[in-house]
Chains A and B, each alone.
Chain A
Amino acid sequence: MSLAQPALKIEPAGVMPPVTEAVFKRPHVTIRGLSKRFNKTVIYDKFDLDIPRGKLISVFGPNGCGKSTLINMIAGLIPPDEGQILFDGMLLDEIKFGYVFQNYREALFPWLRAFDNIAYPLKMMGIGKAERQARVERLVERLGVKIDLNRYPYVMSGGQQQLVSIMRALVVEPEILFLDEPFSALDYEMTLFMREQLQRIFVETGTTTVLVSHDLEEAVYLADRVLLLSRHPALVADFVTYDAPRPRTDATLSDADFVQIKAHCLEVFQREVRKG
């Protein structure tokens, strides 16, 4: 299977590439021996994974296989039972990261205007008001966001609220961005629009991004790598590379390459579902 890549791609120890390249190629996140169980169910058992730097990783797998659990453990929302997760050899609390929840309604603070919602993590970092303002404005500028951020989240559309959530995650200039099914509560039109927004943001910032998606087309369309998980305990069923150039467009969806990779992912997925 030419598309498949081993989950653990350990760099050959002997050859030392030039330093800059080495830094670029070194995985961003290394997960080793990760185990997690809920009551009696083993969700992860000695799970290993390397997340490459500056790539958008889609996580796809059967319902309840542990996609959310995985990114929540990486993002420190739930503690693993065992194992180690390192970011460039550092622990989570030494790095800056962003997390976007599926449920934007409950993730944003309704008592703050959108602008202050976005600035909130900067406040937590102890950054002064003027600087916070400047940074949010810079982000708005860079992303070309056109919505009125002086409004409260509850008067905004779902897509606008989720965009605010994403901006709140990005404002700290995170080294890594996690999104757990960020568009699944939006209607189809909004979902398509938000995919483009996310792609633009990714192209713009180049932030390592981990996106959980339950939509295979979306997962492949946005991804550099698609992580296919198996069920109970979750293993890497495949870690597919998709390197079509960006920006991808609607035409990408009918490219032979895209169609082939999507078909391959579907095949792996169905194999895993049948096993379960």
Chain B
Amino acid sequence: MKRLEPLLPFVGVVGLVAVWYFAVWKQIVDPVLLPSPTTTFWALWKGMNGELGFDFIKTVYRTTMSIVIAAAIAIPLGIVLGSSERLYRSLEFVIDFFRSTPASAMFPLFLVLFGVGDETKISVAAFGAMLVILFNVAYGVMNARKTRLLAAKVMGASRLRVLSDVMLLESLPQTFVGLRNGVSLALVIVVVAEMFIGSQDGLGHSVFEAQQMFEMPRMYAAIFAAGALGYGLNLLFLLIERRFVHWSGK
């Protein structure tokens, strides 16, 4: 029994596909709206080797760009804000306000600023992700264990040393929480932007176009590709975290 344990996660997948086959076989749902799994996966396979693959790469590019920009701004800024509680408190309302504002509401503004190109999609996603990361990094730094800071201090660490040797590392687990949430949000924003903001490519565009043309297998294929991308990005960050923040939660 123990040897089969690693296979447990596949139970849900097999179950889902079985239910899907069953629904198609019994024609519970209109066959036009719900193609069979085989048709869908064939569309996914064909698509990923062609146009869908190209869209996939476009979306990966935009999401990656936005998360890189967001992290490059938010991590240093978060450390600065977090290391001075006063500074953070004075900006807390602004950060919380924009963090709570749906990033999609910012599209028109960014459209005016950057036009309809990639810049808009990337910058709105970066904006949303940045606030999430900023918030988490600042909190990670602020919640650095007091004993640990004191310990560094009694060992003769300077303020700058305490920041780089202790606060920074103390905040890493929380920073990764921010990065994972940030990348999920960035993907959501990018896909939505690709659907509606005069886009010619990307997974969002692919889903939307397939739906408009009523090509259901292609639409499902694009949805699965987007799902796989979201899951993959999350997994990637988890693996990086496990590798570099091995003490997290210990």
Kindly list chain A residues whose C-beta atoms are within 8 Å of the C-beta of B161: 124
Pairwise interchain contact B148-A107, C-beta atoms closer than 8 A: yes
- State how many angstroms separate the Cβ of B114 from the closest Cβ of chain A: 40
Pairwise interchain contact B154-A99, C-beta atoms closer than 8 A: yes
Q: How far is the CA of A107 from the CA of B170 in the complex (A)?
A: 12
Kindly list chain B residues whose C-beta atoms are within 8 Å of the C-beta of A106: 145-148
Asked if A205 is at the interface of the complex by the 8 Å CB criterion, the answer is no
Residue in chain B with minimal CB distance to A103: B147
Asked if A75 is at the interface of the complex by the 8 Å CB criterion, the answer is yes
Pairwise interchain contact B150-A109, C-beta atoms closer than 8 A: no
Asked if B98 is at the interface of the complex by the 8 Å CB criterion, the answer is no
Contact indicator per residue, chain A 51-85, by CB within 8 Å of chain B (1) or not (0): 00000000000000000000000011100000000
Asked if B247 is at the interface of the complex by the 8 Å CB criterion, the answer is yes
Pairwise interchain contact A154-B250, C-beta atoms closer than 8 A: yes
Pairwise interchain contact B147-A124, C-beta atoms closer than 8 A: no
- State how many angstroms separate the Cβ of B102 from the closest Cβ of chain A: 37
Pairwise interchain contact B247-A111, C-beta atoms closer than 8 A: yes
Asked if B2 is at the interface of the complex by the 8 Å CB criterion, the answer is no
Residues of B within 8 A of A (CB): 145-148, 150-151, 153-157, 161, 165-166, 169, 172, 245-247, 250
Residues of A within 8 A of B (CB): 75-77, 97, 99, 101, 103, 106-111, 120-121, 124-125, 152, 154, 168
User: Can you list 16 A-B pairs with a CB-CB distance of less than 8 A?
Assistant: A75-B154, A76-B154, A77-B154, A99-B151, A101-B151, A106-B145, A106-B147, A106-B148, A107-B148, A109-B148, A109-B165, A109-B169, A120-B155, A124-B156, A154-B247, A154-B250
Q: Sorted from nearest, which 5 A-B pairs have the closest CB atoms?
A: A110-B247, A154-B250, A121-B155, A106-B147, A124-B156
Give 19 A-B pairs besides A111-B169, A111-B245 with Cβ atoms closer than 8 angstroms. Answer: A75-B154, A76-B154, A99-B151, A99-B154, A101-B150, A101-B151, A106-B145, A106-B146, A106-B147, A107-B147, A107-B148, A109-B151, A110-B250, A111-B172, A121-B155, A124-B156, A124-B161, A152-B246, A154-B250
